Amino acid sequence: MKRFRIMGTHNYLKPFVPVAGVLVCVMVSQSLTAGMKSLDDSALASISGQSGLTMELDLNLAADRVSYFDDGNGLHLEGFRVGSATDPSGQAFHLVRVDIEEDASLNLDYLVEDRRIEFGDIRLAGAPGLSMGGVFFDHSLEGYLNIRQGGAVGGAGYTFDSAYTMTGGRLGYRTNGNEVFLDDITMNVEALGVTLDVVGNTLTLNAPRVTGDWEVGAIRYSGNPSNHGVSVDSATGGPLASYGSLSGNYELSSNTGITAGGRAGEGVRIDNETVIHSASFLYRDDGNALALRDITGAYRINDLRLDVAPDWQNRPALALSLGSMDGQFSIGAIEMGGNGKSIGQVNVSFLLEDQVFNGRSYSNAVYLQGGGHADAGPQGLRLATEWSLRLADFSYTEDGNRVIFSGLQSWGQGDVTVNVTRDELINGTEFFDGLRVGFEGVKAGYRINGLRVGSEDAPLQGGTELLLALGFYPAYEFELDGHVTLGAGGATGEGITINSDVRIQDGKAAIIAAPYNEGGGDIPQKGLWITELDYDAHVRDMTVDVTEEGLAIIKGEAWSTMDIGNLRVGDKESGQSFGRFVVQKYETGSSMTVIPGGAGDVCAGGMGSSAQACEASGGVWETRGEEGLTVRLKQVFAKAISETRKNALVWETNRQTDAAGNTLNGTGTRLVLNDIYTSDGGDFDGDGVDDNHFGMRTDLSVDVYQTRVVKKADGPDAMGVVGNRGDEKIMDGASAAGYRYVADPTAQEAENRPLGFAVKARSQFKELSINNIDLVHPVGGAQTAVYGVKMQNFDIKANLTATPIP
């Protein structure tokens, strides 16, 4: 059976009015020896039966270890303490008033001031010397709890009404003297009519309505071991660096079932159904907000098991394994920037469930272990993780038009480590200030079936390749190692600073991909693939801020090498290859800004800044609305400073093979474009070096909008719909195929042009240089074919809309 054990305890209880021995001692004295003083006559004389009972308690409780055992496996919470949040040796004040109401219900009004609940270490038996780290929770509470007989299914249960306000809250995580915590938390919660019943062998908790609002004044980081749960640095006297602040509200209802029994033997099973009736979430950075508003949704958790059990490598762990989980969420508006403008609406539906990918079965489980990264110190968190996203759809709606990223699947297995670190070099590993999320041996992948525009039953189409400029591939499989460290503070003030080192091996990514399922089951996904990919990337001092304009991401320095073993057409394993490509990038001061609002007014297929001028040039004037999304990219390609920090492109063909038929890199003929960099075209600041601030700039405006589609040939198309070359495609629900062709659409028919995924793009640079272009023969070596190339004043515009091809 499950066992709890508390060792090495002590507490200090101030003399109190009678009920101090009624409530707290019931909870405390049964498991530990409490040193209490008896009540004197004056204290007893203050009891009034007419006004109920009152308890005052000053509490400083400590335990060396609190242990939980499951099938003989132990989880130990060490350094447990309940006491003052401001004074490590002080006491937390508690006041409880107990009354019996006229309906025989028990009512408790309570006040808690300056309380900290803390665990210094969380350890697993069988993993000596390793800890998950420490957790602390500071708060003051004021509220009430009303308990009455009778639950949802009869008199044997209970019904609860509760409400409370929390102030002065802190919730922190600490490893090796460094900590990240939520500071200045305030919260208001009300839960009425909550019922607790035993149904069969299940403890059922039903909450028909829970409402609340909350705010986090700052998310802070400290790398000073002398600081612990304080907002001000003890060394400088200034406030600790902040990631920003959070706030939100919610109204939800839920039903939870708790049953004894783990995945094997002892443990706990949890089933839950929750409906989110309304919610909002806001992140603020120096007063500028990124807001998710009008959130609704529901989710269902089926057969979540909690065990103390080993992972797939037989390492001791706290195991959370999931049977399945499904749900859907809608975000009514995503607002950012100073004017609170919306980019549109988002809806997500998902199913997490066991599934076979690439011939291997995946499930959903997380195994929590101590230690984190081996060089970061003994404290940290390691999550041995496996996931199986069987199916998900992600839709984006702007100005009433909808595009659906359909059939998203993802799978993977590997270790994720979490440490709070500071800037230092340990055993050759470079650490940075902040919350470090590491990846060790993660083998994973994802794929998207395609786009649907308008509705779920719209035909599948391409278009995801239009997002390649943002680094998004329609399908990707990889092995991942490395880390991303999130530091506190942005370019100025609050925000986030990112440092990362990432290595991807044996990657396969689709540049263009056909659907993996066209309705008859899974089929091999065809496309244009980069395979045998080895990618090494590094980022230093990249800042993320919410600004007056939108979301700004600025790279301090970034360099990477992408070694593509084969660029294949067709099948990712056996398709014909264009050869090997190596792309090196080195950037300083590059940036990306995400701005609410799409392209606005566009002249598609013509030229002109007004509807009249556009139509006169043969174009179509499109008013794409207020919502949408614009991404402004600036890539500053710097001059080479080493063989690993430079911009270069290598194309290699005719490679030799080994005895097993594997190609050998470096044995073929290569075309090398070496040391590629941008420039402003001159030394305008007088420092003796050509300026390089403008870089290569690309503006991408994304909308979902109707577009003009014309037939390319006479006769029937692939769907059997007949038309002539040049006829327009007009959507018509009365037609068998859902559309027809019209030679000269009326204004009313033009309103039914097909929806498409529309991207308006503009790329420009002042000067782009290539230092040298070499031809490299495997025997004769390198010969420079071109000494220096300069291209100046490029300005390229494009307007692309992806629609289904019949």
**736-787 pLDDT tens trace:** 888 899 999 998 988 888 888 888 999 999 999 999 999 999 888 899 999 9
Q: What is the pLDDT of residues 415-435, one digit of tens each?
A: 999 999 999 999 999 999 999
Question: What was the pLDDT predicted at 46?
Answer: 45
Paired strand residues for 523: none
pLDDT at 206: 96
Cα distances (Å, whole numbers) of residue 391 to 387, 388, 432, 475, 578: 12, 9, 36, 14, 33
Helix, strand, or coil (residue 465): helix
Confidence of residue 338 (pLDDT cuts 50, 70, 90): confident
| Cα(578)–Cα(593) distance, integer angstroms | 34
- Above pLDDT 70, what percent of the chain? 93
Q: What average pLDDT does range 493-499 have in this prediction?
A: 97
What integer best gives the mean pLDDT of the chain?
Answer: 90
Amino acid at 189: V
Q: What is the per-residue burial (b if ≥16 Cβ within 10 Å, else e) of 218-237?
A: bbbbbbbeebbbbbebeeee
CA of 323: how far to CAs of 354, 370, 385, 414, 443, in Å?
A: 8, 25, 15, 19, 21
> What is residue 19's predicted lDDT score, i.e. its pLDDT?
34
Residue 311 DSSP class: -
The answer for residues whose C-beta is within 8 angstroms of residue 18's C-beta and 6 or more apart is 39, 43, 44, 47, 53, 55
Q: How many residues does the chain have?
A: 806
Token pair of 588, please?
Answer: 């300083």
How many beta carbons lie within 10 A of that of residue 124, not counting itself? 23
Nearest in space to 485 (alpha carbons), one of 440, 541, 442: 541
Q: Under 8 Å CB-to-CB from 359, ≥6 apart: which residues?
A: none
| pLDDT bucket at 40, cuts 50 / 70 / 90 | low
Answer whether residue 441 shows pLDDT above 50. Answer: yes
Confidence (pLDDT) at 8: 52
pTM attached to this predicted model: 0.90
DSSP one-letter string for 687-699: SSS----S-EEEE
Report the range of poorest mean pLDDT among 375-384, 601-610, 634-643: 601-610
Are 702 and 758 a contacting pair, CB within 8 Å?
A: yes
2 pLDDT more than 50:
no
